[in-house]
Amino acid sequence: MATTCENDDFTKRLVEIGRKDLLERISGGDIKLFEAMIIAGFCEASPIERVADLTNRWNRLSETEKRKFTSDNLAEVLPIIAGLQTKKGQENPGIAKDQTEPGTAFNFR
For 60-76, write each residue's pLDDT tens digit.
999 999 999 999 989 88
The one-letter code for the residue type at 91 is: E
Domain range list for the chain: 1-60, 63-109
Q: Say how far apart CA 22 and CA 31 lie, in whole Å.
A: 8
- Determine phi and psi for 14, rounding to 5 degrees: -65, -40
pLDDT tens-digit readout, 1-40: 454 556 788 889 899 999 999 999 999 999 888 889 888 8
Cα 26 to Cα 39: distance, rounded to the nearest angstrom:
12
DSSP summary character for residue 31: S
Residue 79 CB contacts under 8 Å (≥ 6 apart), including other chains:
100
